[in-house]
Structure 1
């Protein structure tokens, strides 16, 4: 059975209260620009905590591609809240069209403050995030906190657009806030021995030692841009950026590409929830 036949036989499933595991769409402005996504639940005992956004949206005379991965921890409430509110908050910023990077930073901060204020309702869990906004098929605004990652393929070469926020890298900042970084228990550096990322939405009990400031980059989409991958760390723990790019470069269908990446991560024994969005520019 060929790879395409295997993909064709995959059944659609519902993994969460509102997110199916697979989907695709395309731009109305440039129909050759397409997106696809796929989610696979991890082998842990808890419910699926990854959420995605993948859609094109008309705003006045502009088209926006809205893409995101939200990887929750200690519950589903925070990533689900981000899925339904973060992009709305970004687009409400009055300077979004003129200074999109500043608008994204402010919206991230406002959204985090709201999540903390609503901790009685949303719980004390948290979430990483990587978001990408494609403006009129020409400009890509990427932001992230935590270790969900965005990788662009240009002429076959992988270019990481996000920054993995790791406790070991930001240990001095964490110490300056009164926290500490420990590898105990286990062998992964964690903030206060609990959280394996140094920046996140929510996490009220740790927030005084964490940052919610995103890394933001604006990338112009030129003729050399082939596609961009957004994925949770369930993928990046077992695949390098270049391996992920190489695996799907010859796959034309964006949803099939996202499925191939998530299934390859599973084959490589990733036990985490795995979510992936692929946006094809060619």
Structure 2
């Protein structure tokens, strides 16, 4: 999980991300150090953010795979948000961590949940399969519960790492952004999360309240959450 601010003479960037790893934390740690730098060092980011973000995701995944002897065989989902001068928001994701924007109190999902059943065709075209065992979620090759991820070298030939990228203008009607891992979204709708987060202006307290509510609802998965207050 990362929350930071980059400032230059002409530009203020808010950088926010959730990295939800599986089979260890080495891949999330690598992402935290490298993904945003890979995005921002590309000069094309300032003219075509969508393309630049997509290229950086793919380039970072290739680097993770090339370092697999050190990083291990695990992987990670990711949802990232870049806020430019408090006015333009770019969100990208692979996997099932999610970004939800609040506009006039209405929840707007800014990411795409990459679930095996919804991308079955892509998985099967790559030679893989999707299992649907009773009492369990759908899994790629009976193992991974997402269809896109960083790393996961043993499954990579059947997975994708290209992100879905969305943008939004931030105005006076846009009050907050929630980034969270699937442990939150499995027990809470987008609108419920927005309603809880809007109850307090302190984003740290809002995030803690969301996590507490997910635990109260008996979430069985790990929960990471960031709430970003937007000035509009």
1:60-79 aligned at under 5 Å gives the runs: 60-79=9-28
State how far apart, in whole Å, the 1-side matches of 2:63 and 2:77 are.
16
Q: 2:30 aligned to 81, 104, 110, which one?
A: 81
Q: What's the counterpart of residue 35 of structure 1?
A: none
State how far apart, in whole Å, the 2-side matches of 1:59 and 1:53 are.
19
Secondary structure, counterpart of 2:154 in structure 1? coil
1:249-268 aligned at under 5 Å gives the runs: 249-268=198-217
Q: 1:188 to 1:207 in 2, by over 3 A?
A: same
Secondary structure, counterpart of 1:239 in structure 2? coil
Q: What's the counterpart of residue 166 of structure 1?
A: 115
State how far apart, in whole Å, the 1-side matches of 2:146 and 2:71 are.
20
State how far apart, in whole Å, the 2-side matches of 1:111 and 1:128 are.
13
Q: 2:132 aligned to 183, 189, 213, which one?
A: 183
Secondary structure, counterpart of 1:178 in structure 2? coil
CA displacement at 1:227 relative to structure 2: 0.3
State how far apart, in whole Å, the 2-side matches of 1:135 and 1:218 are.
11
Are 2:86 and 1:137 equivalent residues in the alignment? yes
Are 2:226 and 1:246 equivalent residues in the alignment? no
Q: What's the counterpart of residue 158 of structure 2?
A: 209
Q: Which has the higher helix share?
A: 2
Does the aligned pair in 1 maintain the 2:21–2:27 contact within 8 Å?
yes
Q: What's the counterpart of residue 105 of structure 1?
A: 54
Deviations 1:126-185 (A, max 9, x none): 000000000011100100000000000011100000000000000011000000000237
CA displacement at 1:186 relative to structure 2: 4.4
Secondary structure, counterpart of 1:199 in structure 2? coil
Kindly tell me the number of residue pairs found equivalent between the two proteins. Answer: 231
Does the aligned pair in 1 maintain the 2:38–2:60 contact within 8 Å?
yes
CA displacement at 1:248 relative to structure 2: 1.8
Deviations 1:83-121 (A, max 9, x none): 111000000112011111111000000000000000000
Does the aligned pair in 1 maintain the 2:197–2:227 contact within 8 Å?
no
Q: What's the counterpart of residue 230 of structure 1?
A: 179
Q: What's the counterpart of residue 220 of structure 1?
A: 169
State how far apart, in whole Å, the 2-side matches of 1:270 and 1:94 are.
41
Q: 1:197 to 1:263 in 2, by over 3 A?
A: same
Secondary structure, counterpart of 2:6 in structure 1? strand
Does the aligned pair in 2 maintain the 1:127–1:201 contact within 8 Å?
yes
TM-score, normalising length: structure 2: 0.97
TM-score, normalising length: structure 1: 0.80
Higher relative contact order (CA 8 A, sep 6+): 1
